[in-house]
Structure 1
Amino acid sequence: MVQGFGIKSLRKLLPFSLVDHRPVRAGPAPHKASTKLLTGLLAGLIGLTPLLHATSAEAQRGRIKLVRDAETEELIRDYARPIFKAAGLKPQNIRIHLVNDPALNAFVVDGKRMFINTGTLITAKTPNEVIGIIAHETGHIAGGHLIRLRQAIEGAQTIAAIGMILGAGAAAAGAASGNASAAQAGTAIAAGSQGIAQRTFLNYARTEETAADRAAIRYLQRTGQSAKGMLTTFERFADQALFSGNFVDPYIRSHPLPRERIGQIERLAKKSKFFNRKDSVQLQARHDLVRAKLAAFTFNGKRTMRMFKGNSLADRYAQAIVTYRLGSHKRALKMVDGLLKAAPNHPYFWELKGQILLETGNGDRAIAPLNTAISMKPNEGILRVMLGQAILSSKSNRNYRQAVDHLRRGLQNDPDLGLGYRLLAQAYDQLGNRAFAEIATANGYFAAGDIRSAKAMAARAQKKLPRGSPEWLQADDILSYKPPRL
């Protein structure tokens, strides 16, 4: 496991291979906004409002939880890669983030970031359903539907961008519902994010949703995949538009699904010769494992056990995780050993074993299974950081230079891992290298979106570093960073 930013309340909620980014918080008191401005706020923001409805309390407090999991992220990348290529986009230029939210939702905020709720993956019974959603959101990116928003926040860090989106979306939702306090709260959040809510609004257009639908079907056709999963997902929620309040799935709030739209999707989908093509057995098996893992770590134990009560590999995966979460780590380890006996080449079973040992004070024993996982997935930054953490917590095998090597390699592959920088700073400090410890700390603050603290620490580090060295340049980049404004 890669832990969060020392937030104890989140460790119980998110105890798997995650990094929970520091919550985005509301800024200063809101500027006064006219009724005209608020009613002009986008109720859809191309898939953003549903997230705010799904976690309205979090939205009004100005926070959203991003989570990290190597296994899930690898699967999503594999889903998205052919779709991005079919759309003429470079997969390496688009980052997909996981949002810890049980609602079905996916959204884009600019040309390089897509967000998918954990609930989307848990709800989808087949890979094709998720791939259809990714294809639709890719249609918004490739279609230039986000051009004004992109201009405003493409240069912003992910955390800062989320603050902007939360503010705009919360104000929009409040204005649309006549809730003045919610609208005011949204404006407050946005005010802390360069006032983006006052300047960056897209006029919601059904034509853009239709265009994204058509584009998605083209991408699926080009990649030899069925649009049936996309149709299944949309049909599942279309009838809910007849209801109101909390019973409406949040995806509908920004993706209205009138029956004529469903009909258009169905007609186009059925024209494809790939309509009845199913996902491969191997891909379905990976999807089932990720569903089980996410449910086991984000739902309560009883609910998860009802969902995964069989004897399949995915069922046993969920059962082992729930057993661990309920405090029976010795029994959980035996269950993980059973998984490894059945599938010894699955790296994430080795990761889970290492995580359980690491989190129960057995850093020495965690090193071997994590090394095995890394031998299978050498470029997964999260695994490298976890191994570095195990080495630092080891009692008999503590090797600070070895920890530095794994942490640096992990952060090179995944520079958003805030915990990795804190561990790296700790290792450098033990080696007596204060300058490197300080620049690592500065990078950690920057990854977490705490730009003020990052600049202060970078200034301290730069005074100790040789001018022009890679670390000095890192400090200079942080000191030179300016949040984007319109």
Structure 2
Amino acid sequence: MFKSFGTKSLRKVPPIGAQKEATVAGKALPRLACTLLTLLLALQPVLLSVSSASAQGTSIKLIRDAETEELIRDYTRPIFKAAGLKPGNIRIHLVKDNSFNAFVVDSKRMFINTGTIIEADTPNEIIGVLAHETGHIVGGHMIRLREAMKRAQTIAAIGMLAGAGAMAAGAAAGSSDAARAGTAIMTSAPGIAQRTFLSYARTEETAADRAAVRYLEQTGQSAKGMLRTFERFADQSLFSSQYVDPYIQSHPLPRERIAQIERLAKKSKYFDRKDSAQLQQRHDMVRAKLAAFTQDPKRVMRSYKGNDMPSLYAQAIVTFRLGNRNKAIKQMDQLLKLQPDNPYFLELKGQIYLETGMADNAIAPLNRAVSLRPDEGILRVMLGQAILSSKSNKNYSAAVTHLQRGLQDDPDLAVGYRFLAQAYEYLGQRAQAEMATANGYFASGDIASAKAMAARAQKKLKRGSPEWLQADDILSYKIPKI
């Protein structure tokens, strides 16, 4: 089920407020000094905007797709093992964005853009990107990055205060030269702080590159994909070094990274090792799927106009998106003749029926998909939705069973709780419905609504029951401080 499940907005840098004229020893400081002193208060969020410039002030739209997520898990499993990480402790999120990017925000969450997967020709290119981000997690770079920001803030504060002092002393002594010197100190302080911070970020990027090559070596994989990725960046005019100051880049310039990775990668006996044909096929299928769901249909049809399996997959999805259900079903049946036990072909056939008002027809293919991937929460939630939407199959208890099992395997799937609440309502179990709604709010990050609904549900639930304890956990939850 390829779905978008909401948007998360990043905090924007607050605007600098109205300026007031400051005085030292009864004398007014120039407006420039007042502006810089006010900038001191805003320095930390400004530095944050440097570290996430591409996403600043924008929204991140997360999507869910079982097939893509399974492939990414298979990519990362050996890398995480080599890095000493437990795969179950790290969640990889898909971001609906056509640009080539991946990032981590802490030790438990990694994000990868759909555009990264679409643009990568081989699994090895994606694996190299994921290995690099794993290097950031293992190195604790996000934690230390916050400390670097604080240090940069201190450097700027000291510089600005020293400059203000020099300006004040010069003004008091009637020395214009001293006042100008103070101004120079103050105006240079933010730049010094920024360069200190970015220098640290460049160091961590280099460390992550080295760690990635090491993980690839330990797992018997080539670093050629990483090399190809950086070569792609170097070909883009955005990274042209002719007009770029390398000291204000948060990442090392591509030519430097390419040289480093090439030296390390070519030392490996696995440098020329290619991905297996099976893995390449899965990668090509996911690329086609993501492109068909996220890009302009005309563009997709130009790219996937052949009779190979990825092209047939993309064509079926585009046909579905354009509203031709019958043709899309025929195209999926053609694919199912080639791979009758492909759970994701069955899933897509069920999705086409479900989203075009034929839920009864969706149940059989979704049942089959679940039997092939019984631990895939998304598939079970989709089957539960189909049962709830069915006109003839009113087995709400079965819907509850599938939804509960699906949410047990995938507790972050907030939309599943909405369907579970609906199933409980049909069964006349109001308290359980309210508790499912509370869990849905909690999973989507709406803690206030989750607490309000949990309080309502707990009044109707038996004290000490599993549902009562769930409500109590939500009511006692406190948002952790970052």
Q: TM-score range by the shorter chain?
A: 0.7 to 0.9
Pair 1:261-2:250 in alignment: no
Cα pair 1:23 1:63 within 8 Å, conserved: yes
Deviation of 1:205 after TM superposition, in Å, equals 2.4
Pair 1:286-2:282 in alignment: yes
1:221 corresponds to which of 210, 217, 220: 217
Pair 1:425-2:425 in alignment: no
Please state whether the residue corresponding to 1:65 is helix, strand or coil.
Answer: strand
Q: Which residue of 1 aligns with 2:23?
A: none
Q: Deviations over 1:345-371 (max 9, x none)?
A: 211000010000111111111000001
Q: Give the CA RMSD over aligned residues.
A: 2.4
Q: Which residue of 2 aligns with 1:41?
A: 47
1:113 corresponds to which of 109, 114, 119: 109
One-letter amino acid matched to 2:3: L
Please list, as runs of the form range in 1=range in 2, the aligned pairs for 1:61-210 lying within 5 A after superposition.
63-148=59-144, 204-210=200-206
Classify 1:25/1:422 alpha carbon distance in 2 versus 1 (closer, same or farther; 3 Å). Answer: farther
Please state whether the residue corresponding to 1:20 is helix, strand or coil.
Answer: strand
C-alpha distance in structure 2 between counterparts of 1:203 and 1:482, whole Å: 36
Pair 1:328-2:306 in alignment: no
C-alpha distance in structure 1 between counterparts of 2:392 and 2:382, whole Å: 17
Classify 1:138/1:228 alpha carbon distance in 2 versus 1 (closer, same or farther; 3 Å). Answer: same
Please list, as runs of the form range in 1=range in 2, the aligned pairs for 1:278-357 lying within 5 A after superposition.
278-357=274-353
Please state whether the residue corresponding to 2:266 is helix, strand or coil.
Answer: helix
Deviation of 1:258 after TM superposition, in Å, equals 3.7
C-alpha distance in structure 1 between counterparts of 2:376 and 2:249, whole Å: 35
C-alpha distance in structure 1 between counterparts of 2:73 and 2:146, whole Å: 22
1:403 corresponds to which of 399, 403, 410: 399
Cα pair 2:71 2:282 within 8 Å, conserved: yes
Please state whether the residue corresponding to 1:107 is helix, strand or coil.
Answer: strand
Cα pair 2:288 2:313 within 8 Å, conserved: yes
Larger radius of gyration: 2
Please state whether the residue corresponding to 1:205 is helix, strand or coil.
Answer: helix
C-alpha distance in structure 1 between counterparts of 2:145 and 2:468, whole Å: 33
C-alpha distance in structure 2 between counterparts of 1:414 and 1:223, whole Å: 28
Please state whether the residue corresponding to 1:116 is helix, strand or coil.
Answer: strand
C-alpha distance in structure 2 between counterparts of 1:76 and 1:443, whole Å: 27
Pair 1:21-2:6 in alignment: yes
In structure 1, stretches of 5+ residues that fail to align are 2-16, 53-58, 152-200
More contact order relative to length (CA 8 Å, sep ≥ 6):
1
Cα pair 1:110 1:147 within 8 Å, conserved: yes
Q: Which residue of 2 aligns with 1:479?
A: 475
Pair 1:463-2:459 in alignment: yes
C-alpha distance in structure 2 between counterparts of 1:260 and 1:26, whole Å: 32
Please state whether the residue corresponding to 2:103 is helix, strand or coil.
Answer: strand
Please state whether the residue corresponding to 1:309 is helix, strand or coil.
Answer: coil
Classify 1:478/1:435 alpha carbon distance in 2 versus 1 (closer, same or farther; 3 Å). Answer: same
Pair 1:437-2:443 in alignment: no
Please state whether the residue corresponding to 2:6 is helix, strand or coil.
Answer: coil
Please state whether the residue corresponding to 1:146 is helix, strand or coil.
Answer: helix
Classify 1:389/1:149 alpha carbon distance in 2 versus 1 (closer, same or farther; 3 Å). Answer: farther
Deviation of 1:21 after TM superposition, in Å, equals 2.4
Please state whether the residue corresponding to 2:93 is helix, strand or coil.
Answer: strand
Cα pair 1:292 1:314 within 8 Å, conserved: yes
C-alpha distance in structure 1 between counterparts of 2:69 and 2:250, whole Å: 25
C-alpha distance in structure 2 between counterparts of 1:276 and 1:356, whole Å: 41
Give the alignment's TM-score, normalised by structure 2. Answer: 0.80
One-letter amino acid matched to 1:348: Y
Q: Which residue of 2 aligns with 1:230?
A: 226
Cα pair 1:100 1:118 within 8 Å, conserved: yes
C-alpha distance in structure 2 between counterparts of 1:242 and 1:390, whole Å: 47
Please list, as runs of the form range in 1=range in 2, the aligned pairs for 1:267-278 lying within 5 A after superposition.
267-278=263-274
C-alpha distance in structure 2 between counterparts of 1:286 and 1:470, whole Å: 40
Classify 1:398/1:471 alpha carbon distance in 2 versus 1 (closer, same or farther; 3 Å). Answer: same
Deviation of 1:254 after TM superposition, in Å, equals 4.9
Deviation of 1:148 after TM superposition, in Å, equals 4.9
Please state whether the residue corresponding to 1:212 is helix, strand or coil.
Answer: helix
Q: Deviations over 1:283-338 (max 9, x none)?
A: 00000000000000000111101111111100100000001111111001000000
C-alpha distance in structure 1 between counterparts of 2:146 and 2:407, whole Å: 26
Q: Mean alpha-carbon deviation: is it higher for 141-150 or for 422-431?
A: 141-150
Classify 1:303/1:338 alpha carbon distance in 2 versus 1 (closer, same or farther; 3 Å). Answer: same
Q: Deviations over 1:221-276 (max 9, x none)?
A: 000000000100011102436558xxx9xxx9753434122101101001100000
Deviation of 1:476 after TM superposition, in Å, equals 1.2
C-alpha distance in structure 2 between counterparts of 1:259 and 1:44, whole Å: 22
Cα pair 1:234 1:257 within 8 Å, conserved: no
One-letter amino acid matched to 2:6: H
Q: Deviations over 1:17-64 (max 9, x none)?
A: 22412444869987869424437614553xx433x1xxxxxx53x532
Give the alignment's TM-score, normalised by structure 1. Answer: 0.79
Q: Deviations over 1:179-226 (max 9, x none)?
A: xxxxxxxxxxxxxxxxxxxxxx99742111111111000000000000
Q: Which residue of 2 aligns with 1:12?
A: none
Cα pair 2:450 2:474 within 8 Å, conserved: yes
One-letter amino acid matched to 2:439: N
C-alpha distance in structure 2 between counterparts of 1:220 and 1:102, whole Å: 26
Please state whether the residue corresponding to 2:290 is helix, strand or coil.
Answer: helix
Cα pair 1:44 1:255 within 8 Å, conserved: no
Deviation of 1:479 after TM superposition, in Å, equals 1.1
Cα pair 1:49 1:254 within 8 Å, conserved: no
1:363 corresponds to which of 351, 359, 366: 359
C-alpha distance in structure 2 between counterparts of 1:143 and 1:23, whole Å: 26
C-alpha distance in structure 1 between counterparts of 2:311 and 2:97, whole Å: 22
Please state whether the residue corresponding to 2:236 is helix, strand or coil.
Answer: helix
One-letter amino acid matched to 1:20: F
Q: Which residue of 2 aligns with 1:196?
A: none
C-alpha distance in structure 2 between counterparts of 1:337 and 1:412, whole Å: 31
One-letter amino acid matched to 2:116: T
Cα pair 1:49 1:253 within 8 Å, conserved: no
Classify 1:330/1:255 alpha carbon distance in 2 versus 1 (closer, same or farther; 3 Å). Answer: farther
One-letter amino acid matched to 2:112: I
Cα pair 2:434 2:453 within 8 Å, conserved: yes
